[in-house]
Chain A
Amino acid sequence: MELVIAIAVGVMFGSGIWLILRPRTFQLIIGLLLMSYAVNVFIFAMGRLWVDKPPITPVPHIDPTQFADPLPQGLVLTAIVIGFATTALYLVIMIGARGLTDSDHVDGEEPRE
């Protein structure tokens, strides 16, 4: 399972990096989204990988090995919300730029031939 997760994170992040280096805003936003997915899975995995373990512990008799780490789950939730909000904000600005410059190039103008 570690290998699958690692490959998934790597492929997503790698594709994201390739996409954010492309000149069009659509490619850029998809790249950013892929990278943030990769980072979210990565944070999740940093609490170590558990299968079929609840993250909430009953008050008496705590055996930490029987429970998944709840903190990364909380962190990833915050990260998703913030990432979602900033990406939406960026999308709005991209639409504004498209209207103002008549171009979807990240520099706001078509490259000169």
Chain B
Amino acid sequence: MNTMPWLQHLIVLPVLLPLVVGALLIPVNHSRHALKLGLSLASTVLLWLLAIALLLLVDGEHWQGGIGVYLASNWAAPFGIALMIDRLAALMLVLTATIALAVLAFSAQRWDRVGVHFHSLFQFMLMGLNGAFLTNDLFNLFVFFEVMLAASYGLVLHGYNLRRIRAGMQYIAVNLVASLLFLIGVALIYAASGTLNIADLATRVATLGPQDAWLLRIGAVILALAFLTKGAMWPLGFWLPTTYASASAPVGAMLVVMTKVGVYAVLRVWLAVFGDEAGALGGFGLTALTVGGMATLLFGAIGMLSSEDGGRMAGYGAIISSGTLLAVIGQSGSAVLASGLYYLLGSTLAMAAFMLLIELTERIRPPGAALLAITMEAFAIEDKPEDPVGVGIPGTLAFLGLSYAACALVISGMPPLSGFVAKFSLFHALLDSATGTPGGVPTLTWALIALMVFGGLAAIIALMRLGVRTFWASGMVAPPRLQVSEAAPVGALVLLCVLLTLQAGPAFDYLGRTTADLARSGDYSTRVLGEPPVLRAPAAEGLR
């Protein structure tokens, strides 16, 4: 056993910490803004440190096989709920916490004051996200999805105006229906296999009778519909561009992470349940994922070309990135998946930075074009957040231009930043994995590569058009004023993209270990089901 058993409890902390802080912040009055912001920021910093610590623990094989298991309430799996952390989950935790930290710092300037309870909702959303990454139980995944979504409903409407409420109505309706589908899928899987624990399910898949196997297939497909609605696969992703474009900038950046949760859930469930050990059901539906991902990629590329404003463009950019990832998951193979995860890291960081940046660049344009929140009146908030506090930064335009260019390079996959490294390694891995097959590289792979190139081209055309219109043809008089607390988060996210490019070697090493873990789906079952509950100390027995 472990020498330090208390470290086990670190696994549940990313869920508990935001829950407690979010709940504590609710009764704090809106006028004590500094206190709210301070607590929220402290919680997020702690979460970030926690995520890094968990990543180091997992990668350092502190737990056997690099998989940490936490039995909630000390109930042995599969009877209780088991939380599980492996390299993939730890990576997603770090990514989420990093973006959350940047977003929170960004919103400190004005966005957290245009409505009420921004910080509580933000913390609850982090709780839902972290829980969804950590859980090993399908129904528990549903609960965390709902926590995340309920918080996001409030956040999308944050800074309540006509445009947001119109977009919010549709966003919520779509997600409520998707949640119902999620429940149907979960119920069918339970009916077929008698378990909801993912690790337990993985061991039972191969032994199911033909009738139950069909029931499981139907359940998995309905479940995937729910995941893919969040992940915005065509034709389930029509809600996304409008929602992104109308949400406030910090919320938009968090939505980028939320969209990735759908993809993560597909990855997690599919690789564990329909992996190599699933017998007749092995590899079920992977081709559909590839084809769906390709359709999504095409839809995103066309949408990007046709959109005028930055928010919509970012939305379609997120669709392109989801489509690429889904198509890559469909092309199972460790090397392909490692490159896909590298792509996920780069594109999520760049997209989040882009969402924040758009709001800043919109200030270059003459006033009137900018969207004003009308909630001040509705909530009777006296505190006018428009008054700039703090110090401005020099060279605003140079900063904005450089950041914009860096984001555009990563999103479209042009050299020299991480987008290019990701796409190049994806092409390499796709072609490499196809060399062994008779008849050469399959047409589907060629089509995927062609679509990815087309997606990149569409992205660079659209982003360049927007950039020219914003920076060169806006007819501005004076450069906008930027505060350090707004510029620093964007700069940090962009720098992380650069760092990811420079440190591509270590990053790929880590991702290689991640995908090697994922490929051995049997290990998960052994670890999760084999985790012994903590026995009561003999001293306590003696007292009775």
Which residues of A come within 8 Å of B, CB atoms?
20, 25, 28, 32, 35-36, 39, 42-43, 46-48, 71-72, 75, 78-79, 82-83, 85-87, 89-90, 93-94, 96-97, 100-101, 106-109
Contacts and interface: CB of A to CB of B under 8 A. Distances in A.
Given A93-B153, A101-B162, A108-B166, A86 B176 contact: yes
Nearest to B157: A93
A36 to B, nearest CB: 6
Contact of B191 (A28, A46, A108): A46
Interface residues on B, range: 20 to 34
B168 A79 contact: no
Nearest to A71: B190
Contact of A86 (B146, B187, B190): B146
Contacts of A109: 166
Contacts of A79: 142, 183
A contacts with B: majority SS: helix
A89 B160 contact: no
B128 to A, nearest CB: 12
A25 B168 CA distance: 13
A72 B190 contact: yes
B177 A108 contact: no
B53 interface: no
Nearest to B156: A93
24 contacts: A20-B177, A32-B176, A35-B177, A35-B180, A36-B180, A39-B180, A39-B183, A46-B190, A47-B191, A79-B183, A82-B142, A82-B146, A86-B150, A86-B153, A86-B172, A90-B153, A90-B176, A93-B157, A96-B165, A97-B169, A100-B162, A100-B165, A106-B169, A108-B165
Contact of B150 (A25, A89, A97, A108): A89
Contact of A96 (B146, B149, B160): B160
Contacts of A85: 150
Nearest to B173: A28
Interface string B139-171: 100110010011001000100101001101110
B178 to A, nearest CB: 11
Nearest to A28: B173
Report the 8 A-B pairs with minimum CB-CB distance, sorted nearest first: A108-B166, A46-B191, A46-B187, A43-B187, A97-B165, A39-B180, A39-B183, A82-B146
A72 B194 CA distance: 10
B73 to A, nearest CB: 14
B179 A108 contact: no
A101 B153 contact: no
A34 B173 CA distance: 14
B184 interface: yes
Given A85-B150, A86-B172, A96-B160, 7 more contacts: A20-B177, A42-B184, A82-B142, A90-B173, A106-B173, A108-B162, A108-B166
